[in-house]
Structure 1
Amino acid sequence: MMAMSSSATASNAPLTKRQRTSPYPTWFFLPAAIIYGVLFLFPTFSSIYFSLTRWTLFDSTFIGLDNFAQFFREPFLIQGVINTIIFALVTCTLKVVFGLGLAVLLTSDIRMRALLRSIVFFPVLVSAVGVGIAFTAMMHPTRGIINIALDLVGISGPGWLTNPALAIYSVALVEVWRGVGLATVIFIAGIMSIPQDYYEAARIDGASAWERFCYITLPLSRPATVTVIILSFIHGLRNFELVWAMTRGGPGFASDVLASVIYKQYQAGFYGLSTAGNVVLFVLIALMAIPLYIYLNRREGHQ
């Protein structure tokens, strides 16, 4: 037995050495690294360079930090930043709440569960521009189906997109309707990974449905919750399509977000200025999302 063991050890030693010096891990990594460099690193560093220039399609002139100085002097920049943060917080919070609620419902023993899951996820597949156009018509103050339905029950519907105080929140609610399906799918995956033995033991001990949710589902689906929070928050910070399709930043500048401010500069032909705005948006997202990610994962590690 000792001879067999020593021979097995001797035969394994060269294999371990070959694995350590094998070229396959490097070659497998290279395609992903090339794609990442071409699609992310190169555009990122190019944007940083062009943000320091006054450029057109054919030439560029280096001007240093002038674009950033001019960008921070934009009269409605502060309003855009505030709206961006409001939009991100509202959409992130509601996606987590409704996504978790729908996931609990759609993992319970209900009829047509698979069909309901498909219905909930369907809005994610629809173009943001198409959703924005449809809801713009539905939220029309006089001819929109939402206010017509409210009038039938004696409620005077507001100007969802024409009231400066409501416009950004109205767009945020539409984004929640469109994006909650993805959050629900992530939560469903997290809940279905929880061993059923925990629920069976809790039922035997007489735990109610609410207690099972609070002490089993909620803490053990934390990884899914962290994922939904990070993805929803980043998407909310960089959202542009839905805001532009529904309000174009209006009425006035009431629903402008940082991305729509940047796009308006690009429309006006200030390419270097809009590129500087993109760099500012990238830095803002990094400064807010990375500490949030570290904090949430640190809390998860402590638990």
Structure 2
Amino acid sequence: MPAKSRISPYPYWFFLPAAAIFVVFFLVPTVASFYFSLTYWDPFEARFAGWDNYVQFFSEPYLLRGTVNTLAFAVLTSGMKTVIGLLLAVLLTSGMMGQSLLRSIVFFPVLVSTIGVGLLFQELMHPTQGAINVALAAVGIDGPGWLTNPSLALFSVALVDVWRGVGLATLIYIAGLATIGPEYYEAARIDGATRLQQFWRVTVPLIRPATTTVIILSLIGGLRLFDLIWAMTRGGPGFSSDVLASVIYKQYQAGFWGLSTAGNVILFLLIALIIAPLAWWLNRRSIDS
């Protein structure tokens, strides 16, 4: 009988660099965060506090408002990026004139610093001197306080986040559209399907894996967004545009480092509890279809 072939460990060595990076930059900081969330700590010492930080975090008066704002912001921006990104991708793969240039223009905001985008739109949305309200005044429209009106501040930041991030959604959809063979559309045309019917019956179902990717990435980005909100409103006016990330940062600024670490752990768990089942459900639907 031939000897049993021995499996060489050589191919698995290529996993070592990725595993080392994962352990050093993700696993160790995650475990350390869980530990420090149970302490009162500063750069010089850490005193065990048990669950006190979590109890205090959940007693924060503006925690509920920040949680609602976080969920509303994530759902709104994810939905808008998904819809607008798909429509732009269809438009930019239709063979229109200058579509390569337009693709670059749509994707360009993704490459710009988020802080830079926030500071730019903070000036553009100034209630009296901002270019947006100045342009509206030129046509006889009294522009609102985009960032000074508590009812509009979070929505205004959401619009800027969509403008900044829709290019990535568009790029993902363009890659997804490239995988759909022309024979599907040819068969639909033979059956008498209109352009709109081809879009709903051919494009949307076959591009579902790209849609899943866009929804998951957009939701994760929306749930953990901090830099754009801080650059534009700092959670104001008042606490109207505060999200969980900005509440955590304010605690850190006040010197409650253990409390802010507990907040980061809670935010991590919230994202995991939302994204994990949603990704499972969306991927299952993609496979079933």
Q: Which residue of 1 aligns with 2:38?
A: 52
SS in 1 for 2:5: helix
Aligned-pair CA distance for 1:23: 0.9
Q: Which residue of 2 aligns with 1:73?
A: 59
Report the residue type matching 1:238 in the other structure: R
Report the residue type matching 1:211 in the other structure: Q
Partners of 2:56 and 2:191 lie apart in 1 by 65
Q: Which residue of 2 aligns with 1:274?
A: 260
Does residue 244 of the first structure (1) align with residue 230 of the second (2)?
A: yes
Partners of 1:233 and 1:27 lie apart in 2 by 34
Aligned-pair CA distance for 1:34: 1.1
Partners of 2:110 and 2:93 lie apart in 1 by 20
* Alignment RMSD: 1.3
Match of 2:5 among 17, 23, 28: 17
Partners of 2:139 and 2:189 lie apart in 1 by 43
Partners of 1:224 and 1:17 lie apart in 2 by 41
Report the residue type matching 1:191 in the other structure: L
Name the stretch that deviates more: 245-254 or 154-163: 154-163
Q: Which runs of 5+ in 2 are unaligned?
A: none
Partners of 1:198 and 1:72 lie apart in 2 by 53
Match of 1:31 among 7, 11, 17: 17
TM-score normalised per structure 2 = 0.97
Report the residue type matching 2:218 in the other structure: S
Does residue 83 of the first structure (1) align with residue 62 of the second (2)?
A: no
Partners of 2:283 and 2:259 lie apart in 1 by 36
Identity fraction in percent: 65
Partners of 2:5 and 2:186 lie apart in 1 by 48
Aligned-pair CA distance for 1:204: 3.1
Equivalent pairs, count: 289
**Per-residue CA distance 1:108-158 (angstroms, 9 max, x = gap):** 010111111111000000001000000011111111111111122222111
Structural mapping, 1:120-135, within 5 Å: 120-135=106-121
Structural mapping, 1:1-303, within 5 Å: 17-18=5-6, 21-303=7-289
TM-score normalised per structure 1 = 0.93
Q: Which runs of 5+ in 1 are unaligned?
A: 1-9
Report the residue type matching 1:46 in the other structure: A
